[in-house]
Amino acid sequence: MSDTRQQKAFPVSWDQFHRDARALAWRLAGAGPFEGIVCITRGGLVPAAIVARELGVRMIETVCVASYHDYQTQGDTLILKPIAKAVTDAAGSGGQGLLVIDDLVDTGKTASVVREMLPKAHFATVYAKPLGRPIIDTFITEVSQDTWIYFPWDMGLSFQPPIRDGVA
């Protein structure tokens, strides 16, 4: 039997995302100190900048992983740029002391790939869906698996029809 439920929409404004990322930093403050941040690009860039500012972390590295290739469906997970050796060498064994940040954990595929690279790092996301929650350590807001989050960097301003009209 196929699932015919309509996907839910969760649009996030810049203001809301900034508040949520600061809330993540607040929650992480007691889990550190962190020697550096590894952000999963592209979605992790904005929350990593906010968390780095709030926690006073200066070393920020990226790991470039692509799993959404058409903005709607996940495909194969591709590592486009690995973590710099200088960062992994400076961190403790297995990434001890590093904080890995992304905007969202969805199915956990991307986080699992990075977790294999840094098994002892602390993983944090702003938003989490149920399938991905076991892979990460800290998050702020959980949304249902059938929810599509519209991040502010992916949107322009436009009219949103009321939910009663059957539009998600």
Q: What is the band of 11 on the pLDDT scale with cuts at 50, 70, 90?
A: very high
The two most distant CA atoms of the chain are separated, in Å, by 55
Using alpha carbons, select from 25, 38, 16 the residue that is nearest to residue 82: 38
Kindly give the pairing relationship between strand 60-68 and strand 74-81.
antiparallel
Catalytic residue among 3, 15, 76, 102: 102
Is 154 among the residues known to form the active site?
no
Query: What are 77-107's pLDDT values in tens digits?
Result: 889 999 998 888 878 788 999 999 999 999 9
Q: Model-level pTM?
A: 0.85
146 annotated active-site: no
Is the distance from CB of 76 to CB of 68 less than 8 angstroms? Answer: no
Q: How far apart are the first and last CA of the chain?
A: 22
| Per-residue tokens: 116 | 């294999």
Q: Which domains does the chain have, with CATH numbers?
A: 8-155 (3.40.50.2020)
